[in-house]
Amino acid sequence: MAATDELATLFLEFSRKKLLNQYWPRLRECVAPLTPEQLWWRPNPASNSIGNLLLHLNGNVRQWLVASFNKDEDKRDRPAEFAAKEGAIAAELLAKLSATLDAAAAVLDRLTVAELLAPYEIQGYHVRGLDAVYQVVEHFGLHYGQIAYITKSLTGRDLGFHKELNKSGRAH
């Protein structure tokens, strides 16, 4: 295997691991038990609710990974993601995001070096495929962290995401 192919394989494996095996399960665990009031709660008018962040993550992943690499029409309505004040319950928003992440996983499973190096225009930005994948993983991690923080603030519960660490803070 050429070094470029090996690097692409490692990058895509790590991207899948972070997005699909770490961030997504933890996000689901945060959101699933929330009431509609908790899901759509905003601390102030300038902030977003967990519901808004879920709509936003769905739009971002679908636009940047699914539509761009599948050469689908970009139908994203980004302003609507933030304008919503109420609506779907947690299970509905999680199901929608799950379907989008399944489509994204299929894209990540088949991407080639040529696609990672190819130019794309996404949301008005001129990027390479590599940039698009990295943007999605980083962006998802950022908003997953916000969702975890809001969940902990609203519920007062320890989410237990680092159970694998011993008392000294190292993985068993």
What tens digit of pLDDT does each residue of 47-103 get? 999 999 999 999 999 999 999 999 999 999 999 999 999 989 999 999 999 999 999
pLDDT number for residue 158:
85
Residue position matching structure tokens 């996404």: 122
**What count of Cα atoms within 13 Å lies in the side-chain half-sphere of residue 155?**
19
Architecture (CATH level 2) of domain 3-155: Up-down Bundle (1.20)
Q: Domains of the chain: which residue ranges?
A: 3-155
pLDDT number for residue 161:
81
- Please name the residue ranges forming H helices in 32-125: 36-39, 50-61, 68-70, 78-83, 90-110, 113-117
Residues found in the chain: 172
What is the reported pTM? 0.93
Query: Residue 135 to residues 36, 64, 72: CA-CA distances in angstroms?
Result: 29, 8, 19
Confidence of residue 162 (pLDDT cuts 50, 70, 90): confident
Residues in Cβ contact with 169 at an 8 Å cutoff, skipping those fewer than 6 apart: none
Whether the pLDDT of residue 1 is over 70: the answer is no
Whether the pLDDT of residue 14 is over 80: the answer is yes
Confidence of residue 165 (pLDDT cuts 50, 70, 90): low
Whole-angstrom distance, CA of residue 92 vs CA of residue 90: 5
pLDDT number for residue 167:
72
Angle at which helices 50-61 and 90-110 cross, to 10°: 20
